[in-house]
Chains A and B, each alone.
Chain A
């Protein structure tokens, strides 16, 4: 997947990519996008865009199921997503 610099600022597109097949992911990913995405480094923004390409059950297992990605950089992103306030 090739990510251009301009993709990092395309919040509207990312908002739609946060629409998933599971309610849990809808709520968590949309909240993360609105609350934390802007403040991420360009490196982590790229990771987030790549992260959204993973299948829903994988994202669910990482963000809610307590599993951790092998890749350290995704693990860093997942811990930020887990810390997002949706209450």
Chain B
């Protein structure tokens, strides 16, 4: 059967906050837009973002974008690009107002203005008093935004391909992206979508680690598509871990538990944080607590039959305190850990939460294909959201800046695409060889016979990532990990599907996701091995200091030969003076 083809001005892969905000700008400008999403759009991972969106509206306390910019640069441990950060913090304000006008039900003050709450890492006057910068819609901000943007896109006649899986970018010999091959999950039939412009908005990749707070859909699909198109990923070594996820499952147990008096113990019942952080103890910063937990487990003090986690003790708190101040924790622990925290401690382990790195872009969402400090963008290809790296989070992301990132850069990419399509009205000729290569890759999974199952190799891979490229990063272990992951990549050839039906074949979709996970996992492991310093979320006990002289630069990783290169951090903002690197103290 001939391959079905469709043509659009813009193809957007992913229907979270970034993809939908971009799509809305485009559809409102009467461009022909296709949005491809592997799940129904309002089930994208943006829905899990409860916190809110930072914008210096100054509705509750004095604020301005320049203070927001300072906090973000400092939070990034000076690895963020200051032009992009200035742009994001300025554009935060019109972005939030536009969302409000589109119908997002932000929580309000008595005077009718948008309510703003205080979060860690927010300051007034460049490191002074606490600021209140986060706009929220109760505790369902992500859902409210996603729902509003989806409804607005339906009104604006965006064309949705729901439950379609993006397989590969299609590329011509000049390196230009012509669209993508996608797979209809319901029928198993491929579809070629040709586009003048393509935006990757496929979200994060937390599923590379065994323990993650990310939904099952977060498999780094867009990142891996970019790697396969011979383009780089940037700063992939920077991955934020939350110290207390439910062991072996990953669901977050909020920091509030330790704030209310909960504490961590090892198999001997020792309160081990006293040893690693004598003053702050269990309230030390996230990275310190996470590394302490992993150290305890590595030193043989872990709990359980596999000795692979520690315990979070809360049963010294009254049932009343747990019910009132920690709602949801008791139910979560009962369901996912099988313990009632009123009686027994909760098994916990650090859980992979957010990737700061991603597809390198400039501040307009345009993909940057080279390591040249003054390099040109790749015309027509864009990325926004967690899959992209603008880079505004640098080595560490602040709370409230992730929803902001996806919304601002989704919107700005949309605006830039409108201008691009005005100047580039025609589709470029299709490159059949690229389509055939992608079809062959897809067809490889039709092979039958004995072999490993997808879940066997996935389990091996995710455990290897956790052990060798997770929280605890020292040279020998990481080098061993890179070799092991390369072996996992070889083993992909031995994997066979157990189900060869066409319709809703989850086994096949998971095989394609596994290929993506492994490619992205290697990007993380190789990038992390070679960064010989500690900065932000990347912590190396063997190189415990930040090294600005040598390492104030972005890592770029290419899949071909697992090659690395580096480019400078953009320290010059657009209209204000640069914030020079200082020691990060809170």
Contact = CB atoms under 8 A, between A and B. Distances in A.
Which has the most chain B C-beta neighbours within 10 Å: A20, A26, A85?
A20
Interface residues of B, number: 39
Given A16-B506, A20-B215, A27 B47 contact: no
A78 to B, nearest CB: 12
Nearest to B213: A23
B143 A65 contact: no
A21 B217 contact: yes
A22 B47 contact: yes
- Classify the interface of chain B: helix, strand, loop or mixed: loop
Given A16-B185, A55-B147, A64-B331, A21 B44 contact: yes
Given A19-B39, A23-B213, A87-B338, A12 B505 contact: yes
Contacts of A20: 39, 43, 47, 215
Nearest to B505: A12
A41 B143 CA distance: 32
Interface residues of A, number: 26
Which has the most chain A C-beta neighbours within 10 Å: B216, B249, B250, B332?
B216
A77 to B, nearest CB: 16
Contact of B251 (A12, A23, A57, A63): A23
Contacts of A22: 45, 47-48, 215
B503 interface: yes
Contact of B186 (A13, A19, A57, A86): A13
Contact of B45 (A21, A24, A55, A87): A21
Given A20-B39, A22-B48, A56-B43, A64 B332 contact: yes
Contact of A26 (B216, B331, B506): B216
A82 interface: yes
Contacts of A36: none
A22 B332 CA distance: 13
Interface of B: 38-39, 42-48, 140, 142-143, 147, 163, 185-186, 212-217, 249-251, 327-328, 331-332, 335-338, 501, 503-506, 509
5 contacts: A12-B506, A21-B48, A25-B215, A28-B335, A86-B249
Interface of A: 10, 12-13, 15-16, 19-28, 55-57, 63-66, 82, 85-87
Given A19-B39, A87-B337, 20 more contacts: A12-B503, A12-B504, A13-B503, A16-B39, A16-B163, A19-B216, A21-B42, A21-B43, A21-B45, A21-B46, A22-B47, A22-B48, A23-B215, A26-B215, A27-B249, A55-B47, A65-B327, A66-B327, A85-B338, A86-B336
